A = this chain, B = another copy of it.
């Protein structure tokens, strides 16, 4: 880097990084004809694992009607699958399908680039990075939860 990595534009650098991540995610979703809520729901499923439509609806802030059709869209596009719950035959479990469809494929180039970047670091440096990823993920999840309940 040309300038000192110290304080002056650290915030700006980080914001640029965040913007790029979100921009890429959005462009990926668009490329797959996925709406914003669809992507949101996929992220929820990625984070919290399989859940019922009711819980997914609560997480995404949707009522039951839109939730059903959200799952319909995701199911039809091959991202999730409905499986009957074993304990309660009214319930349905929505789970990400084993072989992810287009989204992962669209995101593959970025993933590979990031993989190459990460491959250039030493094990000690990777420890730092992954320690950060872990902590930051928790922080963002927590903040997102607060926002959800605050609405």
Contact = CB atoms under 8 A, between A and B. Distances in A.
Contact of A24 (B5, B131, B140): B140
A28 interface: yes
Nearest to A14: B133
Q: Label chain A's interface by main secondary structure.
A: helix
Number of copies: 2
B142 A113 contact: yes
A72 interface: no
Interface stretch (A73-81, A83-91, A122-130): A122-130
Given A5-B130, A13-B130, A17-B140, 14 more contacts: A13-B133, A13-B137, A16-B47, A19-B47, A21-B21, A23-B40, A23-B144, A24-B147, A28-B147, A31-B147, A35-B36, A110-B140, A113-B139, A129-B132
A-B pairs, top 5 by smallest CB distance, nearest first, are: A36-B36, A110-B143, A20-B140, A113-B139, A17-B133
